[in-house]
Amino acid sequence: MSRKYFGTDGIRGRVGEGVITPEFFLKFGWAVGRVLNRKTKKKNGCTVLMGKDTRISGYMFESAIQAGLISAGVDVLLTGPMPTPAIAYLTRTFQACAGIVISASHNPFEDNGIKLFNTDGTKLPDEVELEIEAELESTMTMAERLGKANRLTDAEGRYIEFCKGTMPWGFSLNGFNVVLDCANGATYHLAPKVFTELGAKVTTIGVNPDGLNINLDCGATKLAQLQKKVLEIGADLGIAFDGDGDRVMFVDHQGEIVDGDQLLFIIAAYRKRIENSCEGVVGTLMTNFGFELGMENLGIPFARAKVGDRYVIELMKKNGWLIGGESSGHIVCSDVTTTGDGIISALQVFKALVAEEQNLHDLKQSMQKLPQVMINVPVKSSVDVDTHSGIQSAIEEAVAQMDGKGRVLLRPSGTEPVIRVMVEGQRRDLVADLAKKLADVVGEAVS
């Protein structure tokens, strides 16, 4: 059964358009409450833990969802601005019926959305999302017993201690000079404390949110400011989170970007060489082919999932593997936490740096990336790229030109109205040329 509202990562869109309105969020809260009340076995009823990122519309939607949940007879614990993975962790530790995050992740402030977590801190199952969608078609009624809301005043401290507690006893970042870019988002008040308390010298950018500047020319998707600051102060490395804190990207001391594939490789290689504990790794269809070759050289099994951290986690569970991730910086270490977590992933990279006694620039050399170009083509009309004859002919021509030494991937984004055109191969000039030609063909088809 297809879903009407939920995408690959919750519900997301432009504020004031489609379902991203206070009216919908009010009824959404009610529908969630109704479904959870039917499922809960707790004598004291159901409690939902709710947080948000720093975008200005979060205040409006927080009030609307809160009212909907309360009208359905559900109690609410409010955390204020908190990273998405922090809500997953707190949902689990408080044994709440569910966790809700109001966020549009790496998108600009004009967008917003909702992510949901199950009581165990994992993404809400598809069948529960379908039940919520079905409930949204019902007429809204008031519960006999109304819920109530309380604020969780120590959420920040709890999560900071959890992050630090994922590292071995006595672990220290003393001697590291680090720049943190918090994207003016949900990690702005947390990440600097985690790394400072572990002993690092920390310089910060993107820690002054005003509701409008989240992800604005900063964070994991815009690394120029971080690169400049690392070189300016001679830092050992820089770390960038996205607006809701579930992605992470690094910059080494030479100002070079270290992406999610390279970070995941560093973590996997460390676990294999030092801990002898890496049974396998899950990537996605977008994972660089150089990563796959590197895993083969290390004797680590590798599998590709569909793009989206929920699919990475599903395949990890199916294979019984503990780590997986995406090029974008979503990295999941399921023996540490239940979902992608930018701060914890960064600490896992530091764990490898300390054990290997190498700087990030040198350590990343163990994986040789193949040139990869991705172009986002805006979608104006719906087209099935898998059956469109012109697009398929262009793909076949591109693959033939690479003579079996590259790959092409076209896929609709699950979070934005674009089709992602990716070409990967050994020759950078050829890859760039083919990607542009393919993007032009796709652009004509969807215009």
Residue indicated by tokens 């833990």: 49
Catalytic residue among 57, 105, 328, 345: 105
Q: Look at the alpha carbons of 94, 75, 86, 159 in this order and tell me if their dihedral is positive or negative.
A: negative
Helix (H) or strand (E) holding 418: strand 418-425
Of the candidates 431, 378, 373, 377, which has an alpha carbon nearest to the alpha carbon of residue 406? 431
Residue 149 is which amino acid? A
The tally of CA atoms less than 13 A away on the side-chain side of residue 41 is 1
Collapsed DSSP state (helix, strand, coil) of residue 409:
strand
Helix 155-165 vs helix 84-93: angle between axes, to the nearest 10 degrees? 90
Q: Which two tokens stand for residue 88?
A: 């997953």
Number of H helices, E strands in the chain: 14, 18
Q: Outline where DSSP puts E strands in 47-169.
A: 47-52, 75-81, 98-102, 111-117, 149-151
The tally of CA atoms less than 13 A away on the side-chain side of residue 369 is 20
Q: Which residues are registered as beta bridge partners of 282?
A: 303, 324
Q: How far, in Å, are 81, 158, 169 from residue 93 at the CA level?
A: 18, 10, 22
Active site residue 105: yes
Tell me how far apart the alpha carbons of residues 251 and 249 are, in angstroms, rounded to a whole number: 7
Q: What is the DSSP letter of 271?
A: I
Q: Which two tokens stand for residue 273?
A: 């060489």
Between CA 393 and CA 399, with CA 396 as vertex, the angle to 5 degrees is 150
Q: Which two tokens stand for residue 403?
A: 């003579």
Task: Compute how many other C-beta atoms are within 10 angstroms of the C-beta atom of residue 229.
Answer: 19
Task: Compute how many other C-beta atoms are within 10 angstroms of the C-beta atom of residue 273.
Answer: 14
Given strand 372-378, what is the order of strands in its sheet? 372-378, 418-425, 406-412
Residue 414 is which amino acid? G
Tell me how far apart the alpha carbons of residues 384 and 269 are, in angstroms, rounded to a whole number: 39
- Which residues are known to be catalytic? 105
